[in-house]
């Protein structure tokens, strides 16, 4: 009555098993696992397991993915384990039948002492062997050391630029006070370069940055127009005014103050990352629009300086970034080079074209190159704070 | 070499086939054959999925971290326990309704959704499918480069497991309905307890739960998993020679709670009339 249907049950099971066999057999033409690269240098570590021994071909490996190729030469089914300290299982393969090769890929990211174990008969504590993972993901201490190295290196960069800033500002102020307008104009852009390179640092000191670098368009009500841009207006537009010398003196005082304060500044790696990005934002909002140097049109000098400063911060972070995200570093290199290439095209003698000499197409090209660089730069902070 | 691979195949095959064969017997026995068509998609999906994932892990550089693999197996096992437990009580309900009215009531009790049948089949096969598939691929690779014996052994084991599951099914359908419910129900209680312990053990191995090295007992010498009887025990009841305390507690607790509930006599445990017994072949 129901015999036929009853038989469908086992038949289907057998068919299922047969399908499994067939399918897997068809797949056999693929690359064998032994050839697949796993990032471990020197290929997989061979483990020869028998009923009484567990021979591991290497007892150290670099951190990362470690591949073991286990062959069971014994008569008993065996297991292979990789233990971290305290017998924490990092990885295991069970059911290694006699004659079988099995592969175990483990991710061992921490340097330290490990143990390999074969368990013939899948029982007991197994035949242990010591195993060492070297190098590897930086321990927090290493990361901290790298961050310290980065901030130290950037501090040197800042110190070099602030020293130059103080010296150049002194000369520029003297020219202004002596009424030498043409020479002061010539010194204006080249002095500002040192300021623009380290602008994120300057911004750390509350009122100093506005006093030195405020633009006329951004003045708050009742705020006095001082600093570089006030002198820029005097030199390029209105001619020197009676209070220009005082403004010049104040500028030098503020700059000296800034330089003194920057020596005591404790920056973090994250500050560097944010600063590198901040400088590019400055370019996008101020220099590409021509708003920064609205009287002198020397925006491209500032542009170059901002890019240099951003590069300086990234250069300091480079070892850390290289370790954590090498792909990001090469993207940054490429985009920096792209922006620099465009800047180089606008070079005139020792300087650059003035902003009002740029074509719309050139400005567009700058804008898109800066955007393309901003994108990877915005990822740096995340990588640094990992 | 052949034998030990065959035992692995037998064990893994039984783990998958046992619950499925009881389910099938149950559906056949209670004249719910139309639900059978939901069993095979569940089994098929689990097998195909295991094969596909196993292939990806074997032939590409993709990998599943050890923890994730154990978490997956362990979680699926625990979900499977929930389903098997539901099945146990569903059977109990069904067996009680037999005495009352053989048909009408039974239809209600057994009105289980196709989805439940499908999922139960899927979980029964899928929970260990990946590990088995990966084992299978390595046997295939070894066969290409070295020796074909493990592969043959594994295939023999799978076939033996299928035959055993079939025999179990044949045996089960011989019993009269009431006996069938009791026997398969009790069997399932122990199976589910084993699956629960096994799943917890996986989670302990993944360090998701503590106490992997706190053993309740170690019967590696007395009752090794590598012996044929050990393999059978493992295949059917998920016996493990090194049982952790957590595993043991879970097993005992499950059996202590579910078994009495299942066997608890209902108010009228009228012996099943002979008419209800399935005709002997």
Report how far residue A177's alpha carbon sits from residue A85's, in angstroms, rounded to the nearest whole number.
72
Output the CA–CA distances (angstroms, integers) from residue A193 to A14, A168, A187, A244, A299, in the order listed: 80, 10, 10, 21, 10
Beta carbons of A37 and B61 less than 8 Å apart: yes
Mean pLDDT of the region B11-40: 87
Question: Are B26 and B173 contacting, i.e. CB atoms less than 8 angstroms apart?
Answer: no
> What is the reported pLDDT for A143?
75
Beta carbons of B218 and A123 less than 8 Å apart: yes
Average pLDDT, whole number, for chain B?
83
Beta carbons of B36 and A16 less than 8 Å apart: no
Beta carbons of A17 and B158 less than 8 Å apart: yes
- Nearest-by-Cβ selection for B5 from A97, A105, A121: A97
Beta carbons of B149 and A32 less than 8 Å apart: no
Residue of chain B nearest A12, judged by CA positions: B40
- Nearest-by-Cβ selection for B162 from A2, A10, A107: A10
Beta carbons of A21 and B155 less than 8 Å apart: yes
Which chain B residues are closer than 8 Å to A108 by Cβ?
none
Q: Helix-strand-coil percent breakdown of chain B, rounded to 5? A: 75, 0, 20
DSSP state of A154: H
Looking from the CA of B192 toward its CB, the CA atoms found within 13 Å total: 26
Mean pLDDT of the region B133-160: 88
Nearest to B188 by CA among B33, B80, B275: B80
Which chain A residues are closer than 8 Å to B4 by Cβ?
75-77, 97-98
Report how far residue A366's alpha carbon sits from residue A304's, in angstroms, rounded to the nearest whole number.
12
Report how far residue A72's alpha carbon sits from residue A79's, in angstroms, rounded to the nearest whole number.
9
Residues belonging to chain A? 386
Mean pLDDT of the region B214-243: 86
Q: Number of Cβ pairs closer than 8 Å across A and B?
A: 156
> What is the reported pLDDT for B265?
74
Per-residue pLDDT of chain A (386 residues; tens, 9 = 90+): 333 333 333 334 334 434 433 333 333 333 333 333 333 445 789 999 999 999 999 999 888 888 899 999 998 889 999 998 878 888 888 889 888 888 888 888 888 899 999 999 887 888 999 999 887 655 555 677 888 888 888 888 998 899 999 999 999 999 999 999 999 999 999 999 999 999 888 888 778 888 999 999 888 888 899 999 999 999 999 999 999 999 999 999 999 999 988 888 888 888 888 889 989 888 988 888 888 999 999 999 999 999 999 999 998 898 888 888 888 999 999 999 999 999 999 999 889 999 999 999 999 999 999 999 999 998 898 888 87
Alpha helices in chain A (DSSP H): 3-27, 140-177, 181-197, 199-202, 208-213, 227-233, 244-263, 269-282, 299-324, 326-345, 360-384
B111: confidence class by pLDDT, cuts 50, 70, 90: low
Which chain B residues are closer than 8 Å to A14 by Cβ?
159, 162
DSSP state of A86: G
**Considering the entire predicted model, what is its pTM?**
0.55
- What is the distance in angstroms between the Cα of A48 and the nearest Cα belonging to chain B? 14
Kindly give the interhelix angle for B66-100 and B245-263, rounded to the nearest 10 degrees. Answer: 10
Residue of chain B nearest A73, judged by CA positions: B1
> What is the reported pLDDT for A10?
38
Output the CA–CA distances (angstroms, integers) from residue B173 to A2, A271, B95, B270, in the order listed: 12, 75, 14, 21
B179: confidence class by pLDDT, cuts 50, 70, 90: confident
> What is the reported pLDDT for A136?
60
Which chain A residues are closer than 8 Å to B146 by Cβ?
99, 101
DSSP state of B20: H
Cα distance from N-terminal residue to C-terminal residue, chain B: 41
And the tokens for B133?
């598939």
Report how far residue B153's alpha carbon sits from residue A75's, in angstroms, rounded to the nearest whole number.
14
Instruction: Indicate the burial class of A85 (C-beta count within 10 angstroms; 0-12, 13-18, 19 or more).
Output: exposed
- Residue A227 pairs with which residues in a beta bridge? none
The CA R_g of chain B, rounded to the nearest whole Å, is: 20
What number of other Cβ atoms are within 10 A of residue A183's Cβ? 15
Question: Are A235 and A171 contacting, i.e. CB atoms less than 8 angstroms apart?
Answer: no
Report how far residue A381's alpha carbon sits from residue A48's, in angstroms, rounded to the nearest whole number.
46
Identify the residue whose tokens are 């038989």.
A7
B97: confidence class by pLDDT, cuts 50, 70, 90: low
Report how far residue A228's alpha carbon sits from residue A383's, in angstroms, rounded to the nearest whole number.
36
pLDDT digits (tens, 9 = 90+) for B47-68: 999 999 888 888 776 667 778 8
Report how far residue A253's alpha carbon sits from residue A227's, in angstroms, rounded to the nearest whole number.
10
Report how far residue A54's alpha carbon sits from residue B153's, in angstroms, rounded to the nearest whole number.
24
Which chain B residues are closer than 8 Å to A20 by Cβ?
47, 51, 133, 136, 158
Which strand (E) or helix (H) includes residue A133? strand A127-134
């Amino acid at each position: 009555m129901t015999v036929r249907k009853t038989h469908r049950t086992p038949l289907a099971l057998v068919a299922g098993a047969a399908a499994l066999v067939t399918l897997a057999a068809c797949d056999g033409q693929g690359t064998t696992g032994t050839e697949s690269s796993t990032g471990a240098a020197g290929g997989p570590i061979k483990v020869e397991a028998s009923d009484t021994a567990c021979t591991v071909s290497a007892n150290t490996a670099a951190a990362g993915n470690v591949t073991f190729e286990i062959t069971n030469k014994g008569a008993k089914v065996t297991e292979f384990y990789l233990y971290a300290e305290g017998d924490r299982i990092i990885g295991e393969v069970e059911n290694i039948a006699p004659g079988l090769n099995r592969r175990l890929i483990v991710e061992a990211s921490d340097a330290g002492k490990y143990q390999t174990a074969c368990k013939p008969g899948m029982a007991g504590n197994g035949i242990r062997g010591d195993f060492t993972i070297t190098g590897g993901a930086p321990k927090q201490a290493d990361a901290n050391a790298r961050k310290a190295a980065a901030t130290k290196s950037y501090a040197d960069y800042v110190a070099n630029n602030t020293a130059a800033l103080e010296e150049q500002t002194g000369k520029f102020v003297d020219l202004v006070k002596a009424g030498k307008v043409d020479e002061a104009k010539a010194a204006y852009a080249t002095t500002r370069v040192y300021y623009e390179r380290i602008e994120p640092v300057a911004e750390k000191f509350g009122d100093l940055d506005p006093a030195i670098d405020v633009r006329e368009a951004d003045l708050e009500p009742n705020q006095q127009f001082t600093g570089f841009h006030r002198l820029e207006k005097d030199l390029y537009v209105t001619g020197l005014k009676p209070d220009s010398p005082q403004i010049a003196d104040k500028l030098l005082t503020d700059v000296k103050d800034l330089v003194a304060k920057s020596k005591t500044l404790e920056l973090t790696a994250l500050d560097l990352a944010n600063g590198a990005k901040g400088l590019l934002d400055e370019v996008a909002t101020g220099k590409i629009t021509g708003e920064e140097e609205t009287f002198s049109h020397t925006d491209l000098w500032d542009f170059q300086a901002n890019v240099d400063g951003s590069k300086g911060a990234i250069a300091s972070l480079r070892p850390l970034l290289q370790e954590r995200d090498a792909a990001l570093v090469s993207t940054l290199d490429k985009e920096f080079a792209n922006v620099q290439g465009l800047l180089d095209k606008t070079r005139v003698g020792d300087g650059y074209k003035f902003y009002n000499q740029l074509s719309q197409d050139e400005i567009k090209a700058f804008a898109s190159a800066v955007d393309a660089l901003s994108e990877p730069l915005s990822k740096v902070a995340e990588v640094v704070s990992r | 070499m052949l034998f030990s691979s065959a035992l692995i195949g037998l064990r893994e095959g039984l783990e998958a086939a046992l619950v499925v064969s009881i389910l099938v017997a149950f559906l056949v026995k209670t004249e719910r054959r139309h639900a059978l068509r939901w069993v095979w998609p569940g089994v098929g999906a689990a097998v195909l999925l295991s094969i596909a994932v196993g292939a990806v892990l074997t032939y590409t550089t993709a990998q599943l971290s050890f923890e994730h693999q154990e978490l997956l197996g362990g979680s699926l096992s625990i979900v499977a326990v929930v389903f098997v437990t539901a099945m146990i009580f569903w059977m109990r309900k069904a067996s009680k309704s037999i005495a009352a009215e053989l048909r009408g009531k039974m239809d209600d009790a057994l009105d289980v959704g196709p989805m439940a049948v499908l999922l139960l089949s899927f979980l029964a096969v899928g929970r260990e499918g990946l590990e088995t598939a990966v084992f299978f691929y390595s046997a295939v690779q070894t066969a290409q480069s070295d020796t074909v014996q493990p592969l043959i052994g594994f295939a023999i084991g799978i076939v033996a497991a299928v035959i055993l599951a079939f025999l179990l099914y044949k045996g089960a359908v011989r019993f009269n309905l009431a006996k069938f419910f009791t026997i398969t129900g009790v069997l399932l209680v122990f199976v589910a307890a084993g699956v629960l312990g096994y799943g917890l053990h996986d989670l302990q191995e993944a360090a998701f739960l503590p106490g992997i090295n706190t053993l309740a007992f170690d019967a590696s010498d007395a009752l090794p998993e590598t012996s044929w009887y050990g393999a059978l025990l493992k295949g059917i009841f998920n016996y493990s020679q090194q049982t952790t305390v957590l595993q043991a507690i879970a097993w005992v607790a499950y059996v202590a709670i579910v078994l009495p509930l299942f066997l608890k006599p209902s108010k009228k445990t009228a012996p099943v009339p002979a008419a209800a017994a399935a005709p002997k072949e």
